[in-house]
């Protein structure tokens, strides 16, 4: 018999019982997750960035990075790796538990439109966290679609056939 | 139900720990490969403080035995870094150096001259010879009245062991192509012609030194030539002679910059923090190697045709 995991949420659960999670719950959950990621995963990079980045206005920082291509490159590499780590945080927890820390506190969960939530679905729905083209386009497209669709789905959620729903129990 | 919830938090903790582990590994790799452990900035502010302490050489300064060596390569990087940083409005060079290699001194002096910001040299105990060459490239020199400065001259003296090896019945087998190839080896005396050739080269470097100081300080070559006997001057004497602009210390340097730039000075200290590989390389370098091999042999093993000129 196939073992049923925590993330095996039936289709009818998502649409009929729990229902799509509200935008505000989702935003609060995302903010909580960002705080966790910033506090825990960004911690090792903080020292490096403090050393190489000036504490200055946006304009001064911009011109500093313009005149220091090697520093810009280092920062880009750090941000890319940090983006991958953040994607893994979201993807692994959503795959294993259906929830991240933020979603646990706001009592929402990720549901699959197919029967079982797969890792690739969790990875695709978090692709916007990778700070390189074309994924950065999702920073604009994703929130717009979330506000336009009835199910509050982002583009990456539509593509990954997932939806965030209220936790039912 | 509670058990399920506990399992959930354990999974979250494990995932976070694993990701944090990878974050630390990557941060370490970045710090190592991008040389971030080499120069550390202490504090945040608008004026960079770069230390030039010890013998000025082109390389070195990383190993356990190189504490009194400053590398022109590293200082140049610090200068370029401070110059490129828009938050830095001026640079103070705190100098405590008896000089060093003429090439390394000029490299630092040239890097200072390229800076678009106000530069100040603060001579502490010693800013002599190559140390003074570096100071002269800044916009303003401040020294303590008892600081040792000046000493505008060039030296390439070495020990001649030819008598000693003769006493021990050791023969120097001269195998060269090019009659001056082993000029300056410590195993034979210089010929009169070689002495003249050697002296000419030193005089030429001395001339460059004088020209640079004259240009940097707004003096004539003749004025500097009169002072460039190799003698050192106390800060108070140097002030009288126009080699130093003001007597004082860090407070005077800050006051000068605040008045000149109309800013409140906050110091950012550039500290050379050797990386693990620096320490390793420095420890395995020539000098450390000689500690094991014997100081005596190190002194006698002067490489043929390696003219060491100190300013």
Question: Quick one: DSSP state of residue B310?
Answer: B
HEC string of chain A equals CCCCCCCCCCHHHHHHHHCECCHHHHHHHHHHHHHHHHHHCCHHHHHHHHHHCCCCCHHHHHHHHHHCHHHHHHHHHHHHHHHHHHHHHHHHHHHHHCCCHHHHHCCEEEEECCCCCCHHHHHHHCHHHCCCCCHHHHHHHHHHHHHHCCCCCCHHHHHHCEEEEECCC
Judged against a pLDDT cut of 50, whether residue A12 lies above it is answered with no
Contacts of B14 in chain A (CB under 8 A): none
**Contact by Cβ (8 Å): B188, B272:** no
**Residue B199 CB coordination number (10 Å):** 12
Distance from CA of A155 to the nearest CA of B (A): 27
Q: Average model confidence (pLDDT) for chain A?
A: 81
SS3 state of residue B23: helix
Is B16's CB within 8 Å of A40's CB?
Answer: yes
Is B27's CB within 8 Å of A45's CB?
Answer: yes
**pLDDT score of A56:** 60
Q: Is A63 on the interface with B (CB under 8 A)?
A: yes
**pLDDT score of A86:** 93
Is B86's CB within 8 Å of A51's CB?
Answer: no
Q: Is A80 on the interface with B (CB under 8 A)?
A: no
Quick: pLDDT tens for B79-104. 998 998 888 999 999 999 999 999 99
- Weakest mean pLDDT among B211-220, B239-248, B276-285: B276-285
Quick: pLDDT tens for B288-302. 333 333 333 444 444
Greater confidence, B231 or B270? B231
Assembly ipTM: 0.81
CA-nearest residue of chain A to B21?
Answer: A41
Question: Quick one: DSSP state of residue B43?
Answer: S
**pLDDT score of B191:** 92
Nearest to B41 among A48, A51, A67 (CB): A51
Distance from CA of B264 to the nearest CA of A (A): 16
CA-nearest residue of chain B to A83?
Answer: B23
Quote the CA–CA distance of B65 and A84 in Å, as a whole number: 42
Contacts of B15 in chain A (CB under 8 A): 89, 92-93, 96
How many beta-carbon pairs under 8 angstroms link A with B? 77
**pLDDT score of A27:** 92
Quote the CA–CA distance of A79 and A77 in Å, as a whole number: 5
Mean pLDDT of B140-168: 91
Contacts of A104 in chain B (CB under 8 A): 8
Distance from CA of B279 to the nearest CA of A (A): 20
CA-nearest residue of chain B to A97?
Answer: B8
In chain B, the percentage of residues whose pLDDT exceeds 90 is: 52
pLDDT band at B213 (very low <50, low <70, confident <90, very high): very high
Nearest to B19 among A67, A88, A97 (CB): A88
CATH architecture of structural domain B41-300: Alpha-Beta Complex (3.90)
CA-nearest residue of chain A to B34?
Answer: A74
Nearest to A55 among B4, B20, B44 (CB): B44
**pLDDT score of B304:** 43
Write out the catalytic residue numbers of B.
Answer: 129, 181
**pLDDT score of A16:** 43
Nearest to A41 among B11, B23, B87 (CB): B23
**pLDDT score of A135:** 85
- Weakest mean pLDDT among A79-93, A105-119, B243-257: A105-119
Contacts of B22 in chain A (CB under 8 A): 85
Quick: pLDDT tens for B19-71. 999 988 888 887 766 655 445 566 668 999 999 999 999 876 554 445 588 88
Greater confidence, A1 or B78? B78
Quick: pLDDT tens for B176-195. 898 889 988 888 889 999 99
Judged against a pLDDT cut of 70, whether residue A33 lies above it is answered with yes
Mean pLDDT of B156-180: 88
Q: Average model confidence (pLDDT) for chain B?
A: 83
pLDDT band at B283 (very low <50, low <70, confident <90, very high): very low
**pLDDT score of B65:** 47
Q: Is A79 on the interface with B (CB under 8 A)?
A: no
Contacts of B84 in chain A (CB under 8 A): 64, 67-68
**Contact by Cβ (8 Å): A13, A113:** no
């Amino acid at each position: 018999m196939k073992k049923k995991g925590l993330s095996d949420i039936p289709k009818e659960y998502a649409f009929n019982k729990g229902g799509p999670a509200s935008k505000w719950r989702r935003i609060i959950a995302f903010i909580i997750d960002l705080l966790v990621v910033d506090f825990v995963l960004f911690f090792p990079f903080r020292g490096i960035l403090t050393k190489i980045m000036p504490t200055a206005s946006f304009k001064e920082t911009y011109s500093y990075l313009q005149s220091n291509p090697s520093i810009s490159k280092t920062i880009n590499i750090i941000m890319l790796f940090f983006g991958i780590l953040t994607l893994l945080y979201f993807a692994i927890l959503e795959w294993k538990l259906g929830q991240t820390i933020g979603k646990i506190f706001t009592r929402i969960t990720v549901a699959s439109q197919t029967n079982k939530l797969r890792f690739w679905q969790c990875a695709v729905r978090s692709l916007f966290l990778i700070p390189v083209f074309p994924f950065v386009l999702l920073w604009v497209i994703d929130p717009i679609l979330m506000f336009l669709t009835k199910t509050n789905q982002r583009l990456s959620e539509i593509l990954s056939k997932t939806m965030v729903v209220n936790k039912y129990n | 139900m509670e058990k399920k919830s506990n399992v959930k938090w354990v999974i979250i903790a494990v995932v976070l720990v694993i990701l944090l582990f990878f974050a630390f590994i990557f941060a370490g790799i970045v710090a190592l490969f991008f040389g971030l452990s080499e120069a550390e900035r202490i504090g945040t502010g608008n004026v960079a403080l770069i230390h030039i302490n010890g013998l000025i050489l082109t390389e070195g300064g990383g190993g356990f035995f190189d504490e009194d060596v400053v590398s022109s390569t590293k200082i140049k990087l610090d200068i370029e870094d401070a110059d490129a940083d828009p938050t830095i409005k001026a640079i103070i060079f705190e100098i405590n150096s008896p000089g060093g290699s003429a090439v390394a001194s000029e490299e630092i002096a040239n890097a200072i001259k390229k800076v678009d910001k106000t530069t100040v040299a603060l001579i502490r105990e010693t800013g002599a010879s190559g140390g003074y060459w570096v100071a002269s490239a800044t916009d303003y020199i401040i020294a303590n009245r008892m600081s040792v400065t000046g000493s505008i001259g060039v030296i390439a003296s070495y020990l001649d062991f030819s008598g000693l090896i003769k006493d021990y019945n050791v023969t120097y087998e001269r195998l060269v192509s090019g009659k001056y190839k082993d000029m300056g080896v410590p195993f034979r005396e210089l010929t009169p012609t070689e002495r003249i050739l050697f002296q000419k080269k030193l005089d030429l470097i001395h001339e460059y030194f004088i020209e640079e100081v004259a240009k940097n300080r707004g003096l004539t070559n003749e004025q500097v030539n009169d002072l460039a006997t190799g003698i050192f001057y106390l800060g108070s004497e140097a002030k009288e002679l126009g080699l130093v602009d003001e007597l004082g210390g860090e407070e005077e340097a800050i006051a000068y910059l605040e008045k000149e730039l109309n800013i409140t000075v906050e110091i950012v200290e550039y500290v050379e923090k050797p990386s693990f590989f620096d320490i390793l390389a420095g420890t395995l370098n020539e000098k450390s190697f000689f500690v094991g091999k014997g100081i005596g042999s190190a002194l006698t093993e002067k490489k043929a045709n390696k003219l060491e000129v100190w300013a």
